Amino acid sequence: MTESLSAPLTLFNSLTRSAEEFAPVNPGKAHVYTCGPTVYNFQHIGNMRAYIFADTLGRTLSWKGYNLSHIINITDVGHLTSDADAGDDKMEKAASETGKSAWDIAKFYTDAYWQDIERLNIRQPAKWSIATEHVEEMIAFAKSIADTHCYELDSGLYFDTSTVPDYGRLARAKTDDGEGRIDPVEGKRHQTDFAIWRKTPAGETRQMEWDSPWGKGAPGWHLECSVMSKMYLGETFDIHTGGIDHREIHHPNEIAQNQAHSCSADTGANIWMHNNFLVDRGGKMSKSAGEFLTLQVLVDAGVHPLAYRLMCLQAHYRSELEFTFENLLAALTRLKRMVMTVAQLRADAEPAAACTHPRLREMLDAFDVAISDDLNTPKALTHLDEILAQKKIDCSEKLAAIAEADAVLGLNLLTLERADLRLRPAKVEFTEDEVEHQLNLREEAKSNKNYPAADAIRNELADNGVEIMDGDPLRWEWRIDA
Ligand code: AMP
Ligand code: ZN
């Protein structure tokens, strides 16, 4: 962190529903756990909003000088098709529908998720903790609280939510009437009680099952996050993140387990942060609702993934964000302008080792104030715009300032090339080189005043879905007419 960046970091804590100054458990360190994906399908771009948010938090903590340990889990077992306790495991269901093994499905979709993480320039966490690699520890955790906080039914080991103080405080839901508490399980003492171990029904075999003191079966989804967060980050750590749906059931249940395990009212993480939904005209984007948008769909339409990242940063993480292609294309245009401005600076200079120019430092301080105010990325972006707009300041100083801001925003502004942003939609069958070649021929024809030949080239390109953009203010010679 540079000396002048000193705005106090405040973060909105869903537990208290208020912004709080960040005070780490261990001075100088930041321990963050992010609920990761359930890998039974591709992630939709709404899911990826959750990881862009967690990455922005992580980048901000690093930028402000904290030594960050970030864990993201991969849920490859235990997440049922609803938030209730009855129903199929999402992994097993996908396996029976496709004829592939649950393990193969998990591997395939984990790899696809990791590819999206890379394309969105989301930094690698200290560890990807994979649920099925921690089942032994989950059984040990469950054993440690079984006698004091759980009871056994035919279907599994259940957590008795009346045994911990203030159950559901995070959700602020009525105790017996939380959202999604459908499919009641016979014998549960309270509607809010939840399975921490699900027994394989007699006569059945699951692809993913383990021996336990409660019989063969699989861990409940909530158990994995309590176990892995404590294992890697400590009994009490700083920040736990997830999408806002987790505020209602998954995280209250994690908190209940944490309290049972520590025999205290300690919720495990001090700050619980939740990103709001990406919505489309049909409402919240969800995987279970059939058709959904993946990052690959955007790429196939010719939009660079970082334009989606910028689109997310243009909204505050706690606001709903409506996805439309118009919004996305507007973000792409904004990103193009930024990249072109930086390209011009780079043509003139190398970035200075550090930005010392007083005007730029003022702008970076304003950027710091915005980002430190519960990650106000829309505001921070306006300060970046201000830096980009400076005409009279030395190019290398400006580049250093942009690099500093981009360490938080993750838009790769110093390495992206203009051409990187012009992706070829999947349905278009020519190469960029062919278009460039045709454009050169057209220029030649024009300079020979052979306008019919120039027009013929333009028409032929148009027939192939390429629009020539004479006089475009962004100086793009052509674009794909997607
Ligand atoms: P899942 O794979 O269903 O466990 O979800 C992965 C992450 O995406 C979780 O943190 C969810 O809360 C989050 N999430 C799910 N749907 C959306 C959405 N439409 N917008 C933003 N985040 C979402
Ligand atoms: Zn979780």
1 in a structural domain: no
Do residues 260 and 162 make contact, with C-beta atoms less than 8 angstroms apart? no
Domain count, the chain: 3
Mean pLDDT of 309-317: 98
Per-residue pLDDT band at 182 (split at 50, 70, 90): very low
What kind and span of H or E run contains 68?
strand 67-74
Domain boundary among 372, 393, 420: 420
Structural domain span for residue 330: 301-420
Choose the weakest-confidence range: 1-15, 145-159, 270-284, 460-474. Answer: 460-474
As given in the structure block, the two tokens for residue 68 are 């960050």
Residue 178 in domain? yes
25: β partners:
none
Same domain, 142 and 276: yes
Pocket test for ligand 1, best of 40, 47, 48 (most atoms within 8 A of CB): 47
Task: Answer yes or no: do 67 and 198 share one domain.
Answer: yes
Is 310 in the same domain as 247? no
Q: What CATH number is attached to the domain comprising 231?
A: 3.40.50.620
Ligand 1, atom 23: closest residue by C-alpha: 47
In a domain, 292, yes or no: no
Check whether 472 has a pLDDT greater than 80.
no
- Residue count of the chain: 482
pLDDT at 473: 66
Strands 18-21 and 10-13 turn out to be antiparallel
130 lies in the same domain as 257: yes
Q: Show the ligand 1 pocket: residues with CB < 6 angstroms.
A: 35, 37-38, 46-47, 49-50, 242-243, 245-246, 275, 277-278, 284-286
d(C-alpha 76, C-alpha 129), whole Å: 10
Q: What is the pLDDT of residues 405-420, one digit of tens each?
A: 999 999 999 999 877 8
What confidence category does residue 175 fall into, taking pLDDT thresholds of 50, 70 and 90?
A: very low
- Scored b (16 or more CB within 10 A) or e, 323-340 reads beeebbbebbebbbebbb
Residues 234 and 318 in one domain: no
Range 306-317 average pLDDT: 98
Do 237 and 353 lie in one domain? The reply is: no
Highest mean pLDDT among 10-24, 79-93, 438-452: 10-24
Q: What ligand 1 atom has the least distance to the C-alpha of 39? A: 2
What pLDDT does 428 receive? 65
Give me the amino acid identity at 132.
T
pLDDT number for residue 185: 82
Position 41 in a domain: yes
| Per-residue CA distances from 270 to 53, 258, 267, 407 (Å) | 18, 12, 7, 26
3-class DSSP assignment, residue 12:
strand
Query: In terms of domains, do 399 and 253 share one?
Result: no
Cα 276 to ligand 1 centroid, rounded to whole Å? 9
CB atoms within 10 A of CB 353: 8
Domain end point (choices 404, 420, 436): 420
Side-chain-side CA neighbours of residue 210 (13 Å): 19
Whether residue 197 contacts residue 157, with contact meaning beta carbons closer than 8 Å, is answered with: yes
DSSP string over 147-187: HHHEEEETTEEEE-GGGSTTTTTTTT--TT--TT--SPPTT
Looking at ligand 1, which atom is closest to the CA of residue 38?
Answer: 2
Residues 256 and 232 in one domain: yes
In a domain, 80, yes or no: yes
Ligand 1 center to 245 CA (angstroms): 7
Is there a single domain that holds both residue 414 and residue 432?
A: no
Residue 93 falls inside a structural domain: yes
Q: What is the pLDDT of residues 89-130, one digit of tens each?
A: 788 888 878 888 888 999 999 999 999 999 999 999 999 999
The DSSP bridge partners found for residue 67 are 29
Assigned domain for 73 exists:
yes
Tell me the per-residue pLDDT of 211-222, one tens digit each, with 9 for 90 and over. 999 999 999 989
pLDDT tens column, 422-463: 766 666 667 778 888 888 999 999 999 999 999 999 888 888
- Dist. CA 343 → ligand 2 center (Å): 41
**Per-residue pLDDT reduced to its tens digit, 377-396:** 999 999 999 999 999 999 99
**Which phi and psi angles does 225 have, rounded to 5°?**
-70, -40
Statement to judge: residues 321 and 261 lie in one domain: no
Q: How far is the CA of 140 from the centre of ligand 2 (A)?
A: 18
- Considering the domain architecture, whether residues 372 and 345 belong to the same structural domain is answered as yes
Pairing of the two strands 29-34 and 237-243: parallel
What is the distance in A from the centroid of ligand 2 to the CA of 253?
A: 10
Could you tell me if 152 and 274 lie in one domain?
A: yes
Residues 6+ apart with CB under 8 A from 99: none
- Alpha helices, DSSP H, located in 410-450: 432-447
Helix pair angle (358-372, 395-409), 10° resolution: 10
Closest approach atom of ligand 1 to CA 242: 10
- Domain boundary pick from 220, 247, 280: 280
Residue 108, Cα to own-chain centre: how many angstroms? 19
Cα–Cα distance for residue pair 248/180, rounded to 1 Å: 9
Helix axes 135-149, 221-233, angle to 10 degrees: 110
Q: What is the DSSP string of 250-303?
A: HHHHHHHHHHHHHTSS--SEEEEEEE--EEETTEE--GGGS----HHHHHHTT-
Of ligand 1's listed atoms, the one at least distance from the Cα of 277 is 20
> 352 in a domain, yes or no?
yes
Residue that the structure tokens 């208290």 belong to: 16
- Does position 70 have pLDDT exceeding 50, yes or no? yes
Q: In whole angstroms, give the CA distance from residue 169 to residue 479.
A: 52
Backbone phi and psi for residue 38, each to the nearest 5 degrees, phi listed first: -90, 120
